[in-house]
Amino acid sequence: MTIIDGLLAELEQEAVTTRRVLERIPQEHLSWRPHPKSMSLGQLALHVATVPGLVAEIAAKDTTMPNAFFQPEAATAAELTPALADSVAKAKHLLGTYDDAKMAATWRLTKDGKDVLVMPRVAFVRAIMLNHWYHHRGQLLVYLRLLNLPVPSVYGPTADENPVAA
């Protein structure tokens, strides 16, 4: 098993949980935000749906420069799970053929010709494609709770779901 095989297996497993979370996003609350500085529910949900593919595009380059970050809002709740499926497929396609040497190679984020972030590609994929994704999925769960909507089980029981109870 190569390094990327393990990361993509984790991606697939977590995509199942992420899909369950995205299926809970109600159409009528897409523009809701808990604070004026926060993303709307629709922005955050679409971000969660698209992180794997977008980060894989960045990770596939040896060097990249930051772009202005704009997160669009989902137009409909129905677009979220297909966006996730497309994003996961894109990540698997872009990174799936990488061997351990490619994953260990240095990846760089530069601005004005200067290094801003330098790390092995595997560290970037772990930190941004996966950990960053989980962080935002957790935010999405808080949004659901604040809207008094049922929170699905992710790694264990919630006040609304207990997959291990008889």
Please give the residue range of the domain that contains residue 58: 3-146
pLDDT value, residue 7: 97
> Which amino acid, 157?
P
The pTM of the full predicted model, rounded to 2 decimals, is 0.94
pLDDT value, residue 67: 76
Residue 163 has pLDDT above 90, yes or no: no
Classify residue 133: in a domain, yes or no: yes
Classify residue 132: in a domain, yes or no: yes
Q: Are 14 and 22 in contact (CB under 8 A)?
A: no
CATH code where residue 63 lies:
1.20.120.450
pLDDT-derived band at 142, boundaries 50, 70, 90? very high
Classify residue 164: in a domain, yes or no: no
Mean pLDDT (whole number) for 84-97: 97
Classify residue 106: in a domain, yes or no: yes
Nearest alpha carbon to residue 136 among 75, 84, 66, 65: 84
Mean pLDDT (whole number) for 107-119: 92
DSSP for 39-78 reads: PPHHHHHHHHHHHHHHHHHHHTSSEE-------PPPS-GG
pLDDT value, residue 68: 64
Classify residue 136: in a domain, yes or no: yes
Residue 165 has pLDDT above 90, yes or no: no
Mean pLDDT (whole number) for 14-31: 98
Classify residue 165: in a domain, yes or no: no
- Averaged pLDDT score across all residues of the chain: 95
Classify residue 152: in a domain, yes or no: no
Count the domains in the chain. Answer: 1
Classify residue 154: in a domain, yes or no: no
pLDDT-derived band at 166, boundaries 50, 70, 90? low
Q: Which pLDDT tens digit goes with each residue over 53-75?
A: 999 999 999 988 877 678 899 99
